[in-house]
Homo-oligomer: A and B are copies of this chain.
Amino acid sequence: MQRYFTDAPLTRGAQVTLDKDIEHHAVTVLRMDIGAEFELASAGQAFRVRIDAVKPLTVTVIEPIDRNVELPVAVTLVCGLSKAQKPEWIVQKGTELGATTIYFTGSQWATVRWQQDKVGKKLARLQQVAASAAEQSHRNVIPTVAFLPQLTDATKLAADAKLVAYEESAKEGETGALVQTLHANPKRLVAVFGPEGGIAPAEITALTAGGFVLAGLGPRILRTETAPLYLLSAISTLTELLG
């Protein structure tokens, strides 16, 4: 069933009028009519709703949808910059796989930089990608996309578990850090991923001094846009399939 997000507060039985973007998609693109039902999520809770009128699009909230689709750990990804469409891919796939917050960040060895005056526009575009991916994957919340000027700013983020996906750890055969971290049942986990140029030793030192643990994500070398997807899938496997 189609899902949309709204800022309107929703409660069972309430009647709400939705904004023009949703009206256009539901009524003009999908040709939904009076009596048709869809899903509407607001403030982390989804509801089944039924159309009362199409112009303006007005619905009655029928009932909450109780199936929980959110990961039991709120995962914040901090991703070094990468070329071309890769940030969009990270946001789209990261949203499908359950991320809560996705930061992009400048770093010492990055081969890509975001000019300061373009950050706002890039984030707005990526936030839209997150919104559509959240609708399509029936998330209850839209992940927040934001920017950190420096990778080591990750040490300032609040979390009760902190990991760095580090290629050198993977090469040395490190396999226990992620599993061990999740055994402690963290509520909020921050994971840092280097840019295409890798993470500089000084950055690794600052991160470990800030409480970050170096983690290998299996023995294969993963590209910068693949590692966050492995991490989210691994967290889902350990907490939702095994948990």
- A residues near B, CB below 8 A? 67-69, 93, 96-98, 136-139, 171, 173, 175-176, 178-179, 217-223, 226, 229-230, 233-234, 236-238, 240-242
CA distance A176 to B243 in the complex (A): 10
A-B interface, 8 closest residue pairs, ranked by CB to CB distance from nearest? A233-B233, A234-B237, A218-B236, A230-B233, A69-B219, A237-B237, A137-B221, A137-B220
Is A175's CB under 8 angstroms from B240's CB? yes
How distant is the Cα of A22 from the Cα of B41 in the complex, in angstroms? 53
- CB of A97 within 8 A of CB of B137, answer no
A225 CB to closest chain B CB, in angstroms?
9
Q: A229-B233, A234-B236, A234-B241 are in contact. List 6 more A-B contacts (CB 8 A).
A: A137-B220, A137-B223, A178-B237, A179-B237, A218-B241, A226-B229
Pick the residue among B137, B173, B219 that contacts A222 (CB under 8 A): B137
Tell me the smallest distance from the CB of A95 to a CB of chain B, in Å: 9
Chain B residues with CB under 8 A of A67: 171, 173, 219
A85's nearest neighbour on chain B, judged by CB, is B85
